[in-house]
Structure 1
Amino acid sequence: MGTTRTPRGMWIEEGLRALSTGGPDAVRIEALAQSLGVSKRGFYGYFSDRDALLGEMLDTWERDTTEGVIEEIERGGGGTRAKLERLLTIALFTEEPGRGTAVALSVRDWARRDETVAERLRRVDNRRMDYLRSLFGSFCSGDEVEVRSMLAFTLRIGSHFVAADTVHGAERRC
């Protein structure tokens, strides 16, 4: 009887989970194998080392939180305002698809200590800002495009650092 291999994606998902709870230092092959209930031997069938896994985790996060979100917004159709409404609803009221806000915050923290991660984060943020600019640019002009894009983007990130209670009974919707 053959051995069932743990799929590559499960290693990446478990790595992202570890990153979200403990930062990059928590992404350890032995700990991931234990969480998955497998031996660490299978890891090396997919990845040459821990750094290769970290790179693929970042690739997955980048793809899902940029092109994945943009594709979801565009698939919904409608005009620019409908797309903006969908984007803001996703950004402000839901977790990032398949990843969760904790991963994004962990990547931001990691980028403060690792220039390679910081470069990737800049690429992700620039892609997100470019998309916002394209949407706002369809009905605004000049500095207003940049201001609206920056406000929408910083609201997404900054809302996770606010500790204030919400008004009792109020929904987190506009």
Structure 2
Amino acid sequence: MAATARAPRDTWIEEGLRALAAGGPDAVRVDVLAKTLEVTRGSFYWHFKNREALLEALLETWEEKGADQVIARIEAEGIDARDKVRLLGTLVPLSPLMPVELAIRDWARRDPAVAERLRRVDNRRMGYLRTLFSSFCPDPGDVEARSMLAFSLAIANQSVAANHNTHSRAEVLALATRHLLI
């Protein structure tokens, strides 16, 4: 099939996120993406100055969808803080962005600018969790511990391959969440 002239900017970003999730930033290559999208390389340059601009757009998209939109969605629910934590516990692990999240965390180990962005996003997420937990936990140390445990559970759950004896993963996550909300 002959390459078409142009793909929308969002299509480039979506395919770039898939490549990032599959192989890290080195897998985000203009020629490979163009071939996958069946478009010319010129389509890329219509939307992006260079590969670095695409990588920046990928990070911006991850930040917007993985932090800003998640928090906005939860705040729009009109539920109490405990239910917000429960909802976070169901949304985050099932997010289609989780493979991208893990790739960005790996990328941040080698790139100081990505590490700084990750720190900023993680600080925002932790700040949100602190706000939720502090609404029903009076002890600041307890708020910090619960926030860290909830955040770690959401991110690291994807990396844990352990069996849970007679419980399913979903049951164990529900139990862990219940313990956080006591």
Q: TM-score, normalised by structure 2?
A: 0.87
Name the CA distance, whole Å, in 2 between partners of 1:155 and 1:122. 17
What is the CA–CA distance in structure 2 between the aligned matches of 1:171 and 1:153, rounded to whole Å?
17
Structure 1 residue 144: Cα displacement: 0.7
Residue of structure 2 in register with 1:33 after alignment: 34
Structure 1 residue 162 corresponds to structure 2 residue 160? yes
Aligned partner of 2:47 in structure 1 is: 46
Q: Which amino acid aligns with 2:14?
A: E
Q: Which structure 1 segments of 5+ residues have no match?
A: none
Counterpart CA distance in 2 for 1:163 and 1:169 is 14
Q: Which residue of 2 aligns with 1:124?
A: 121
CA RMSD of superposed structures (Å)? 1.6
- 1:111 aligned residue: 108
Secondary structure of the corresponding residue to residue 160 of structure 1: helix
**Which amino acid in structure 1 is aligned with residue 163 of structure 2?**
D
Q: How many angstroms apart in 2 are the aligned matches of 1:84 and 1:161?
A: 21
Number of equivalenced pairs: 168
**Aligned twin of 1:86:** 87
After TM superposition, the runs of 4+ consecutive aligned structure 1 residues lying more than 2 A away are: 165-171
Q: Return the alpha-carbon distance in structure 1 between the equivalents of residues 69 and 148 of structure 2.
A: 21
CA distance in 1, matches of 2:34, 2:6: 12
Deviation at 1:100, TM superposition (A): 2.5
CA distance in 1, matches of 2:132, 2:29: 40
What is the CA-CA distance between 1:83 and the residue it aligns to? 1.2
Q: Which residue of 2 aligns with 1:146?
A: 144
**SS of 2:70's equivalent?**
helix
Give the share of equivalent positions with the same residue, in percent: 52
How far the C-alpha of 1:168 sits from its partner, in A, is: 6.1
Residues 74 and 84 of structure 2 are in contact (CA less than 8 Å); yes or no, is this contact kept in structure 1? yes
Distance (whole Å) between structure 2 residues aligned to residue 68 and residue 167 of structure 1 = 35
Equivalent AA in structure 2 for residue 163 of structure 1 = A
Deviations 1:10-55 (A, max 9, x none): 0011000000000000000000011111111110011000000000
- 1:114-140 CA-partner distances (Å, limit 9, x unpaired): 000000000110000000000001011
Q: Secondary structure at the match of 2:126?
A: helix
Distance 1:169 1:35 in 2: 41
- For each residue in 1:89-125, what CA deviation from the matched residue of structure 2 results, as whole angstroms up to 9, or x when unmatched? 1124x12xxx421111100000000000000000110
Q: Which has the higher helix share?
A: 2
CA shift, 1:169, in A, is 7.1
Unaligned runs of 5+ in 2: 175-182
* d(CA) in 2 for partners of 1:33, 1:81: 45
Match of 1:61 in 2: 62
What is the aligned partner in structure 1 of residue 178 from structure 2?
none
AA matched with 2:48: F
